[in-house]
Structure 1
Amino acid sequence: MLGLRTTIYKVGDINTAKKWYSDAFQSKPYFDKAFYVGFNIAGYELGLQPEEEPTTNKAESVINYWGVEDIEGEFNRFLELGATMHEKPTNVGGALVVASIKDPWGNIIGLIYNPDFKL
């Protein structure tokens, strides 16, 4: 195993989602086609794919957490951009704090503050 490479979010409107994710992750896509939009987020791939049948009713069995320095600030910034709260910032032991939001298409985006994790 080489580690996580790509997280893909399925969206009903890829053009609206491209703008939303550009604002949310403060990054422009490096790959931009109708079938896939790809962002490089600190060396990790965030991908958007259009859904054949758009739905906001998504499975909640897996959460990918994106590392942040200021979890409260980022959590609130995502909410200001139109995300909805999934799980408020919660200390899960030591200095680790996790939170999650749902994007406008119902995808869960996890946020984590973990000062002990090093690449």
Structure 2
Amino acid sequence: MTTSSSTLGIKTVLHPVSDLAEAKAVYAALLGVAPQTDTPYYVGFEAGGQHIGLVPSGAPQAPSTSLAYWHVPDIEAKLAELTAAGATVGQPAQDVGGGRLVATVTDLDGNVLGLIQDR
């Protein structure tokens, strides 16, 4: 294992939504905060040390279902470790802006796991 479990954590969860404006109102009421990021293609909230993101369904970056992202210090090393253990890469690491890298893998049971590496 290349990464200690103490350095890993789920801090980001993305939700696909059919109507971004309606979903934004629901999540603002749930979380008790206004969105920190509010664009036509992404709405993001920071609450309780978590990042909750809303992505319009059908958008290229939208997950097909809610997706939790594990924050890792070295995404390429973690991808290699996971594929060696039997997972398959769904989305290779890509920069989504500001040096943040994201990727997904699928485990042996078909569960999709998200990975994030911040710069």
TM-score interval, smaller chain = 0.3 to 0.5
Report the TM-score when normalising by structure 2. 0.47
Report the TM-score when normalising by structure 1. 0.47
**Structure having the higher Rg:** 2
